[in-house]
Amino acid sequence: MRILSLRLIIALIVGVTLVSLASSWYQVQAEKDALRRDLERKAETFGESFAVNAESYLQAGDKPGLEEMIQRFSNRDHLLGIGVYDRDFFPLATTLDLSASLRGTPQALTEAIASNRPVSSSMRLHFKRIYLLAAPLHAVDKSIAGGMVIIYDTAYIRAEIFRVWSRVFIHIAGQVLVIVAITLLIVRWSLAGPIARAAQWMKTVRTGRHAIQPPAKDLDFLQPLTREVAPLAESMRQARAAAEIEARLRNTNESLWTAQRLADHVRTKLNGSGLFVVSNREPYIHNRQGGVVTVTVPASGLVTAIEPILCACNGTWVAQGSGNADAETVDSHDRLQVPPDDPRYTLRRVWLSKEEEEGYYYGFANEGLWPLCHMAHTRPVFRASDWEYYNKVNARFADALVEEMANEEHPVVLIQDYHFALLPRMVKDRMPHARVAIFWHIPWPNPESFSICPWQQELLDGLLGADLIGFHVQAHCNNFLSTVDRVLEARVDWEHFSVKRKDHWSSVLPFPISVEFLETAEAPAKNNAAEERSALIAELGIEASFLGVGVDRVDYTKGIIERFQAVEAFLESHPRYQGKFTFIQIGAPSRSHIQRYADFQKEVEAEANRINERFKDGKWRPIVFLNRQHSHQEVRRYYRAAHLCMVTSLHDGMNLVAKEYVAARQDERGVLILSRFTGAARDLRDAIIVNPYDIQASSDAIAQALEMDISEMTDRMRRMRRSVKEHNIYWWAGSLIGELCELRLSRSQAGSFQQN
């Protein structure tokens, strides 16, 4: 439409200008001719009067009187000069200007005397345009006694024509501006608006939303297109309805959860209700790099799970804007339609100051709640100022969320993680009709550990504003219920795993999160595991026959140092693997400006260097520490090439690295060594389960993995892959939101928390 408008404007400007110039040219020529005719009349009238007086002076022989008369008449407008000549063309009397400008006898005077009649002509004289009138003078007997010459300066005609053209151009410019403005208004009202509404109609038809056909007046000039689109829209609606019915029927028997099945399942459960997701991290980040705005998608299983649902129901995702170009890409209400290539849902960004982010995120959430919940022997830090920022930011998100849900009759809210423990209560108090769930992605400690927090009552009360509270495993649910039972005045129903507080029931259930299983969507690797292993070894510049891999954020809860010490113990007790086994630790930097994380980074590097210095031989190194961010594609190469993967978290909610490794092993090879303190240990029972604090037991697990029989290895991996495949990330999201949609929101139940 912009290109069309630009072309139309250019065409109008050129057309109006050409027509106006053509019309004005005729007007200017007419004005020029009129000025010339006026000059000719003026010269003729003056010449007749002057000739009568000059002839009387000639007849009387009064030359001084003739000169005096010439000087008297010389000050007329535009008169350049006057001259009187005898019949031999000798000048009897002339003005000074004529004497200076005219040398010799003018040709027109010769013709006038010869023909005995006035002669006039326009000519150029010394770069001046002049009008010359020559006429004969007669004696008493009517014989020719001489002649006269009158010269006018015609420069004023040219100046007047220039002024006329100036007025013409101003007039044309004004006409162009007015016509273009009127045309743009007509285009906007009569063309752009109807076309935009027709385009929106077609978009809603394409995306499967409720499509309302534009008014008939909008489609009058689009009638041929309308006749084709309307039947197509109806056909698409019928086809989509049939597909949804088929999907619902298929869901009852289908075991594998996919993005499409999840979208169909949740759309049915929502039954027209809007879905609103809240997380600290946003699904799309805009950054300006070198004058160009780029968009990136964070590596997150949450985006993988939630986005298909939001696309299916035109939902809203509320998150913190973190990119340096995020503010440039939103509208006046801080909203943005995403995904960028095919907008299907709304991203609402919330802005935090540097001080708010420091106190809420890095302070209370990651220096307080994170170590408190992980029980990894790092002392939690609780500051009153951080708690204030945590309250303030939760309230900021509540305001944004309530604003987005203003027109929803039955909104469904899914809040993510420990950053928003106060948000469920804030939302529920303001919108009791909303269905609210929060999923806690990290562990929940026992009541004694949680009692360290000075604001434990406020956090628990905030969480119990939710209708559904989800954890990864049942043990975390039990810890939460025990904490509530000990800290708050609330009724805990252990039989139904629910809590009643302030006449409101909250269900507390486990939903073990998982990963996307790409067996059917991902193209097979071009190289087998051995070839990929050789390529990686060459790229790293090392020598090795056996590879182990660990993939973690550099976080003190992940057991990285204990893992390195297990490798050291393994090489001590199994010296035949020295020079052959290399462990590759992919460690993404994390929260590095928090002192504990900065210190831990140095500790990991120092431990890797110490072990390498002890054992290294030539190009072989026992540990390769890759301390940078890696893409999913890069990490999957290491997963496919490694003989074993070590996940030795000291305490973890789930730890998806274990499931990612299993999902990546399409060859059904490789061994997973898994900490018993991860949620994944409940699902992946065919891994070698270890206590990461027991260094010797972990080293023995490495030996067991490297020497495991191929058939046993294949059986273990096949069973773990079946578990991940059947309970993938889409199953997790479908279970969580499906459970939330089934909950009854009555506040007056006398018994335990009920379901529809």
pLDDT digits (tens, 9 = 90+) for 671-687: 999 999 999 999 999 99
Maximum CA extent, the chain: 152
Q: Confirm whether 747 is domain-assigned.
A: no
Same domain (yes/no): 395, 475: yes
Same domain (yes/no): 242, 144: no
DSSP class of 407: T
Output phi, psi for 464, to 5 deg.
-75, 0
Q: Residue 98 has which token pair?
A: 């004529």
Which tens digits make up the pLDDT trace of 278-289?
999 999 999 998
Is pLDDT at 239 greater than 90 in this prediction? no
pTM for this prediction: 0.68
The per-residue pLDDT for 53 is 87
Which tens digits make up the pLDDT trace of 544-570?
999 999 999 999 999 999 999 999 999
CATH of the domain at 16: 3.30.450.20
Is pLDDT at 524 greater than 60 in this prediction? no
CATH of the domain at 706: 3.40.50.2000
Same domain (yes/no): 673, 618: yes
The per-residue pLDDT for 753 is 40
Bridge partners (DSSP) listed for residue 646:
673
Q: Confirm whether 651 is domain-assigned.
A: yes
User: What mean pLDDT is predicted for residues 347-373?
Assistant: 96
The per-residue pLDDT for 403 is 96
Output phi, psi for 183, to 5 deg.
-65, -40
**Selected residue with higher pLDDT from 227 and 111:** 111
Classified as helix, coil or strand, 304 is helix
Mean pLDDT of the chain: 87
Q: Residue 524 has which token pair?
A: 């097979």
Same domain (yes/no): 369, 499: yes
Same domain (yes/no): 148, 181: no
Domain membership of residue 247 as a residue range: 172-253
The per-residue pLDDT for 732 is 94
Of 481, 510, 539, which one is at a domain's C-terminal end? 510
Which tens digits make up the pLDDT trace of 254-277?
568 888 888 889 989 998 899 999
Query: To 10 degrees, the CA torsion angle through 559, 562, 568, 573?
Result: -110
User: What mean pLDDT is predicted for residues 110-123?
Assistant: 88
Same domain (yes/no): 504, 605: no
**Chain centroid offset of residue 287 CA:** 9
The per-residue pLDDT for 710 is 96
The per-residue pLDDT for 78 is 81
| pLDDT band, residue 748 (cuts 50/70/90) | very low
Same domain (yes/no): 221, 308: no
Q: Confirm whether 737 is domain-assigned.
A: no
Extended strands (E) in 323-433: 335-338, 345-350, 412-416
Q: Confirm whether 656 is domain-assigned.
A: yes
Same domain (yes/no): 339, 444: yes
The per-residue pLDDT for 155 is 83
CA distance 27 to 169: 13
| pLDDT band, residue 49 (cuts 50/70/90) | confident
Same domain (yes/no): 279, 307: yes
CA distance 677 to 754: 32
Bridge partners (DSSP) listed for residue 645:
549, 672
User: What mean pLDDT is predicted for residues 711-727?
Assistant: 95
The per-residue pLDDT for 471 is 97
User: What mean pLDDT is predicted for residues 304-333?
Assistant: 91
Same domain (yes/no): 342, 487: yes
Q: Confirm whether 731 is domain-assigned.
A: no
**Chain centroid offset of residue 73 CA:** 82
User: What mean pLDDT is predicted for residues 740-755?
Assistant: 56
Same domain (yes/no): 546, 687: yes
Q: Confirm whether 269 is domain-assigned.
A: no
Same domain (yes/no): 407, 463: yes
b/e per residue, 68-92, with b = 16+ CB within 10 A? ebbeebbeeebbbbbbbbeeeeeeb
User: What mean pLDDT is predicted for residues 195-218?
Assistant: 64
Most confidently predicted of 76-80, 133-137, 141-145:
133-137
Lowest-confidence range among 123-137, 342-356, 476-490, 568-582? 123-137
Which tens digits make up the pLDDT trace of 221-237?
556 666 666 666 666 66
The structural domain count of the chain equals 4
| pLDDT band, residue 107 (cuts 50/70/90) | confident
Of 478, 510, 542, which one is at a domain's C-terminal end? 510
Which tens digits make up the pLDDT trace of 460-498?
999 999 999 999 999 999 999 999 999 999 999 999 999
Q: Confirm whether 506 is domain-assigned.
A: yes
Q: Confirm whether 734 is domain-assigned.
A: no
Bridge partners (DSSP) listed for residue 293:
288
